[in-house]
Chains A and B, each alone.
Chain A
């Protein structure tokens, strides 16, 4: 692992989690977001997003069934994104199960991101672009994991929810 920041230099780190059912585009999502992405032996993907010398955002891509990974990051994450392939029935069912679990155990804000990848929707994109508020803690939105701008928009929406929570 090659640290982007020198040991001792970093002061503040935020952690967010990107979780999804098997096959969810966690890696493309993180690659579109972070300049450096690593995959551990446990299939946990870690993306580093340095903001400046003393501030870093860690983005974990983990699977629902990785119990110990949740133990490591679940307690400290600022928020999380549940991503699933909108066109995959099994993935949709899997994402619901994830939301059931995460919403039961963690009170962090979260986004449910329906990944369209690069496939078209049968309805105008403008109709689905704005995030849909499910509650004060969760929003539903479409995204394209292959497009950095779309991925950033999801994370910015999550940040907005966090900022709003502080106000």
Chain B
């Protein structure tokens, strides 16, 4: 049971006061979602910036309502730029619907609607927001290698699309997280580093794996720089990191203690590296074990190597730890899928076996008959005849 007095569960409806909206408010109440109605742009805007609701349901065009203008203003305000918005409007024409595609919204519902359906959608969005508050549960996303797509690429992609996601990064023997909300990096975690330093270090991870989960979440903003600024400084650091790394042995090479001369002159970081090398270990592991800014660690390692305090040895270190084994297992599993091209094709034949999965974002869509002779109310303009299809076919063949 949700707490209806909790402002996080308050939904603001920007629409005219009609029987339809009254019914919607009533049904939302059945879902323990408190809803308020505003029938004027200015009133709605003031309300949102003073008491940001959990979600906004907005009409596009009514007498005192201009949904697009309201949305633009809300996106410009710090408190409301991430506010989830559902557009509910009567937009039968394709051209109008296309305009809606250009808006930065979370969902779209055609009017007339079933209040029950709207309530389910709103409830689903609110539940997702709650569930993903600090959670890393997967909704939609993808995984990959940082060699192919590093954190900078991922952030840039999310920024361009204004998307929200939690990026889980894995590099032997460490893991880190980056939180991106509507294209803005809001937080990052790695070792004991502060958010911005964690992000800067994660940006320099050019090998390893990532797991990107597309989801909306609530998390206090710890990084205040714009994504653009972060990307610029990140690219500068990557450049510096690569230059430094080029002057060092490969990351997998094993480092060990060298001579004992000059130990008394070592800096704190250099002394830490010396202490960590009581047992030889790969440069990659050493960098992680220092739990410091990686660029500084590389500088210190380079200095120690130059002075002969530490040396590089050929060969590999001990057997992989549990995390490494886990990652290797995942990669091996992914490769397994693609071994036999014919089994790939065959796997499509197998769809339909077992229970069909409903992605949470799509729960609300009922099964639809997309027939050429479908309901005229929906497919008035899409009612192509066989001759039309033949014409399109002919056009493509003649190109």
Interface size classification for chain A: 35 or more
Q: Which residues of B contact A14 (CB under 8 A)?
A: 382, 384, 388-389, 392
A76 within 8 A of B: yes
Q: Can you name the residue of chain A whose Cβ is closest to the Cβ of B382?
A: A76
Contact with B along A7-32 (1 / 0, CB 8 A): 10000111100000111000000000
Q: Which residues of A contact B2 (CB under 8 A)?
A: none
B356 within 8 A of A: yes
Q: Can you name the residue of chain A whose Cβ is closest to the Cβ of B396?
A: A152
- A154–chain B nearest beta-carbon distance, Å: 10
Q: Which of A83-99 contact B (CB under 8 A)?
A: 86-87, 89-90, 92-94, 96-97, 99
Contact between A76 and B378, CB atoms less than 8 A apart: yes
Contact between B142 and A166, CB atoms less than 8 A apart: no
Report which of B95, B139, B365, B388 forms a contact with A12, defined as CB distance below 8 A.
B388
Contact between B104 and A105, CB atoms less than 8 A apart: no
Q: Which residues of A contact B143 (CB under 8 A)?
A: 90
B347 within 8 A of A: yes
Report which of B108, B361, B367, B383 forms a contact with A65, defined as CB distance below 8 A.
B361
Report which of A22, A69, A74, A156 forms a contact with B396, defined as CB distance below 8 A.
A156
Contact between A78 and B370, CB atoms less than 8 A apart: yes
If A55-B391, A89-B338 touch, whether A42 touches B367 (CB-CB below 8 Å) is no
If A52-B391, A72-B108 touch, whether A100 touches B361 (CB-CB below 8 Å) is no
Contact between A103 and B108, CB atoms less than 8 A apart: no
Q: Which residues of A contact B383 (CB under 8 A)?
A: 12
- B105–chain A nearest beta-carbon distance, Å: 7
B229 within 8 A of A: no
Q: How far is the CA of A90 from the CA of B101 in the complex (A)?
A: 27
- B31–chain A nearest beta-carbon distance, Å: 19
Report which of A42, A87, A163 forms a contact with B390, defined as CB distance below 8 A.
A163
- A54–chain B nearest beta-carbon distance, Å: 9
Q: How far is the CA of A33 from the CA of B364 in the complex (A)?
A: 32
Q: Which residues of A contact B397 (CB under 8 A)?
A: 152, 156
Contact between A148 and B399, CB atoms less than 8 A apart: yes
B279 within 8 A of A: no
Q: Which residues of B contact A55 (CB under 8 A)?
A: 384, 388, 391-392
If A12-B384, A140-B345 touch, whether A71 touches B104 (CB-CB below 8 Å) is no
Q: How far is the CA of A76 from the CA of B93 in the complex (A)?
A: 12
If A70-B365, A99-B351, A166-B372 touch, whether A78 touches B106 (CB-CB below 8 Å) is no
If A41-B162, A101-B362, A134-B348 touch, whether A78 touches B368 (CB-CB below 8 Å) is no
Contact between A152 and B399, CB atoms less than 8 A apart: yes
Q: Which residues of B contact A166 (CB under 8 A)?
A: 372, 386, 389
Q: How far is the CA of A65 from the CA of B351 in the complex (A)?
A: 19
B112 within 8 A of A: no
Q: Which residues of B contact A112 (CB under 8 A)?
A: 348
Q: How far is the CA of A79 from the CA of B135 in the complex (A)?
A: 37
Q: Which residues of B contact A22 (CB under 8 A)?
A: 141-142
Q: Which residues of A contact B364 (CB under 8 A)?
A: 67
Report which of A7, A40, A76, A105 forms a contact with B102, defined as CB distance below 8 A.
A40
Contact between A107 and B369, CB atoms less than 8 A apart: yes
Contact between A71 and B365, CB atoms less than 8 A apart: yes
Q: Which residues of B contact A103 (CB under 8 A)?
A: 351-352
Q: How far is the CA of A66 from the CA of B109 in the complex (A)?
A: 13
A129 within 8 A of B: no
- A22–chain B nearest beta-carbon distance, Å: 5
Contact between A160 and B393, CB atoms less than 8 A apart: yes
Q: Which of B101-145 contact A (CB under 8 A)?
A: 101-110, 139-144
Query: A residues touching B (Cβ–Cβ < 8 Å)?
Result: 1, 3, 7, 12-15, 21-23, 40-44, 46, 49, 51-52, 55, 57-58, 64-65, 67-72, 74-79, 86-87, 89-90, 92-94, 96-97, 99-101, 103-108, 112, 123, 132, 134, 138, 140, 148, 152, 155-156, 159-160, 162-163, 165-167
In order of increasing CB-CB distance, the 3 nearest A-B pairs are A108-B370, A67-B361, A65-B140
Taking A22-B141, A68-B105, A78-B372 as known contacts, 5 extra A-B pairs with beta carbons closer than 8 A to each other, sorted by chain A number, are A42-B101, A87-B338, A99-B348, A107-B368, A159-B393
Chosen A-B contacts, 14 in total, with CB atoms closer than 8 Å, are A40-B102, A42-B104, A51-B391, A52-B391, A67-B361, A68-B105, A68-B108, A71-B108, A72-B100, A93-B337, A106-B370, A138-B348, A140-B345, A152-B396
